[in-house]
Amino acid sequence: MEITNITTSYTRKANHALYGGGQYESSDHFASLSAEVAEGEDIVVVENELRTACVEMVNQAILEEISTFQGGITAERFYTYLRDYVANRSVDSATYEDCNLAQKAILQAVKRGKQMGKRDTTPTMKTHHSLVNKDANKK
């Protein structure tokens, strides 16, 4: 038997109460993808790629939905803001203010991590003075 087409689907149910939504509310998220399989192509590889894409699509849909339960900004806008902040690009305070509590907590954790990184890589005054004194003693 020659397989010429393969279809993969993925579904997941989200309980809204777990993410700040209404009690006893849920939503189903479903994705289905099909692909033609070329002669000699490994169907296991094709199926794995399709399944991975379906899972990513469903996860993104759930993320977008649950981010709206607590208000805040969309997941795409949040990830763009987070990326720019970590890359030391300019970010505006208005976007931060529009974030929900969970988004603000993540941004604060990143901010603390960046500050720790600066402290870890910046030489202390004591170290600086020691280096200057060593250089002076060599002369």
Same domain, 47 and 82: no
Q: Is residue 22 part of a domain?
A: yes
The structure tokens 């890589």 sit at 121
CB atoms within 10 A of CB 67: 21
Q: Is residue 47 part of a domain?
A: yes
Q: Is residue 139 part of a domain?
A: no
Rounded distance, CA 33 to CA 50, Å? 6
Q: Is residue 130 part of a domain?
A: no
Q: Is residue 15 part of a domain?
A: yes
Q: Is residue 137 part of a domain?
A: no
pLDDT band with cut points at 50, 70 and 90 for residue 139: low
Same domain, 57 and 89: no
**Total structural domains within the chain:** 2
Q: Is residue 54 part of a domain?
A: yes
Q: Is residue 106 part of a domain?
A: yes
Same domain, 91 and 57: no
pTM value is: 0.56
Angle between helices 75-86 and 101-121 (to 10 degrees): 10
Contacts of 46 (CB under 8 A, 6+ apart): 6, 35, 37
Same domain, 62 and 96: no
Rounded distance, CA 50 to CA 22, Å? 33
Same domain, 43 and 18: yes
> Is 9 in contact with 32 (CB distance < 8 Å)?
yes
Instruction: Note down the domain range covering 113.
Output: 75-125
Note the pLDDT tens digit of each residue in 1-50. Answer: 788 999 999 999 998 888 777 888 889 999 999 999 998 899 999 999 99
Q: Pick left, alpha or beta for residue 73 (phi over 0 → left; psi -120 to 50 → alpha; otherwise beta).
A: beta
Evaluate if residue 137 carries a pLDDT over 70. no
User: What pLDDT was estimated at residue 117?
Assistant: 86
Note the pLDDT tens digit of each residue in 47-72. Answer: 999 999 999 999 999 888 877 777 78
User: What pLDDT was estimated at residue 91?
Assistant: 86
